[in-house]
Amino acid sequence: MIERLAARAFRLLLAGYPRAFRQAYSDDMQALFAERYAEARNARRTAAFLARTFINLITTACAEYIAAWRTAHTSRRHSATRRLTMAGVIQDLSYACRLLRRRPAFTLFVVLTLALGIGANTAVFTVVNGVLLRPLPYPESERLVNVWGRFDPESGFDFPQFAISGPEYLDYRDQNTTLEDVAAFTGRSLTVGGPGADPERVQGVAITANLLRILRTTPALGRAFSSDEMKADAPSAVLLSRGYWQTRFGADPNIVGRIVPVNGVPATIVGVMPASFAFPLPDVRMWTPLRIDPANPGGRSSHRIRSAGVSGSRVRKRPTRG
């Protein structure tokens, strides 16, 4: 049933070619179409083959009409067609429009194909531009790298990019010989309270103290986390995003040092980040210390930490743990 419909659609599109072209090549094209259709074998390959074939038919049919029209008028417009002029382009477009107007179904198919093609290309370029072409909004962003683990469980599945555990992060940080520094971070949901305001849930990220140094970023107000605040018994501290500082705390210029309940624990606001800082996502409102105790870093099977590093030409070799 599907093969008959595909063959019928193919013949319908062949009708869009000039008559001389159809008389010369129609039979051969239909035979080749049937042969290639039989070779497709599965639904995915068949769909890809039909899409390529129909798009090629549409584009080549338009090209054949334009070529036929130019050939028919060569004797009368021999001198005018030696160079491409705006008048010639307008005449070609006008002729193509008249042809398309005579075949509304064919015209609709052409318009839909062009719309899908332009939309798909626009979406792909947007992704490529954001991921590959546009640099990260940090100084020396070309030196930043993601640090991943590779997970190959007994089930046979291979995960080439996998979150790491606390002990693995300490190994990367202390034993690597290719990166200047390695930081860690992980997302977490935070409940923020405060006098005169209802508690609310916000998106937060726990970071190690060296992350801002790796990103070459400093707070607009206050300071970054200190190494002492990474200790397990240290008082809680938070950094605010600029947007959250404005909406929740009224852009108070004296916000540094204020105590605010975070997850039911009093936490000191030590700084406010610049408006351009949105790590790792724009919806992050707070950053808290990520405390990994070298004496008790947790199990290696707890893969919940993401890591980032900065490359450097002068990297001192760290001693390997025994």
pLDDT at 65 over 60: yes
Backbone angles phi, psi at 319, to 5 degrees: -70, 145
pLDDT tens-place string over residues 192-250: 986 667 889 999 999 999 999 999 999 999 999 999 999 988 999 999 999 999 999 99
Asked whether the predicted pLDDT for residue 272 surpasses 80, the reply is yes
Residue 311 has pLDDT above 90, yes or no: no
In the predicted model, what is the mean pLDDT of residues 91-103?
A: 75
Share of the chain above pLDDT 70, in %: 82
pLDDT digits (tens, 9 = 90+) for 191-200: 998 666 788 9
pLDDT of residue 322: 32
Assess whether pLDDT exceeds 80 at residue 8: no
Residue 121: predicted pLDDT: 79
Domains of the chain, by residue range, sit at 2-132, 141-311
Q: What does the alpha-carbon distance between residue 75 and residue 66 come to, in Å, rounded to a whole number? A: 16
Average pLDDT over residues 92-98: 75
Token digits for 40? Answer: 């497709």
Asked if residue 133 has pLDDT above 70, the reply is no
Q: What is the mean pLDDT of the chain?
A: 80
Locate tokens 């030696």: which residue?
82
Q: How confident is the model at residue 156 (pLDDT cuts 50, 70, 90)?
A: low
pLDDT of residue 252: 93
